């Protein structure tokens, strides 16, 4: 068992890490979208040469990481405010982790 102060400290860690994930994914989604939109323009230094299914898969991964970061952020805020863990958020995080592992295994198997 952890004390409320330790749980609150861990909440700050979750907020920090979740914030980095959310900010990083938001930047990556914006940058990638801008690259895809401007791929056909003359003088473009970066081009997207993938198919629509490649783009959908890429955005699905981005979205999954973004949701993981948001859940981490919310769980951390919960821990800071209440000084205890929210079991529903813990199960959501574990479920998202399982989805990551299953998706990674499928991608390795299918490629």
Read off the pLDDT band of 66 (50, 70, 90).
Answer: very high
- Distance between CA atoms of 46 and 55, rounded to whole angstroms? 15
Weakest-pLDDT range from 39-43, 65-69, 94-98: 39-43
Segment 47-61 shows an average pLDDT of: 87
pLDDT mean over 6-18: 95
Report the run of H or E that residue 105 belongs to, with start and end.
Answer: helix 87-110
Burial class (CB in 10 A: 0-12, 13-18, 19+), 43: exposed
Contact 14, 68 (CB under 8 A): no
Q: Determine the Cα–Cα distance for residues 101 and 95; give it in Å rounded to an integer.
A: 10
Residue 1: pLDDT above 80?
no
Give percent above pLDDT 90 in the chain.
49
CA dist 15 and 73 (Å) reads 5
d(CA 4, CA 43) in angstroms, rounded, equals 56
Tell me which residue of 28, 20, 29 sits closest to 76, measured CA to CA: 20
Q: What is the pLDDT of residue 7?
A: 92
Alpha-carbon dihedral sign for residues 10, 16, 18, 20: negative
For residue 30, pLDDT beyond 90: yes
Can you give the pTM of this predicted structure? 0.81
| pLDDT of the residue at 49 | 85
């Amino acid at each position: 068992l952890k004390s409320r102060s330790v749980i609150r400290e861990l909440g700050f860690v979750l907020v920090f890490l979740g914030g980095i994930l959310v900010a990083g994914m938001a930047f990556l989604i914006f940058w990638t979208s801008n690259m895809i939109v401007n791929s056909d323009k003359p003088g473009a230094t970066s081009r997207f040469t993938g198919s629509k299914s490649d783009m959908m898969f890429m955005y699905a991964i981005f979205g999954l990481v973004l949701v993981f970061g948001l859940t981490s952020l919310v769980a951390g805020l919960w821990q800071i405010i209440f000084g205890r863990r929210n079991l529903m958020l813990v199960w959501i995080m574990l479920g998202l982790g399982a989805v990551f592992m299953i998706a990674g295994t499928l991608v390795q198997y299918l490629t």
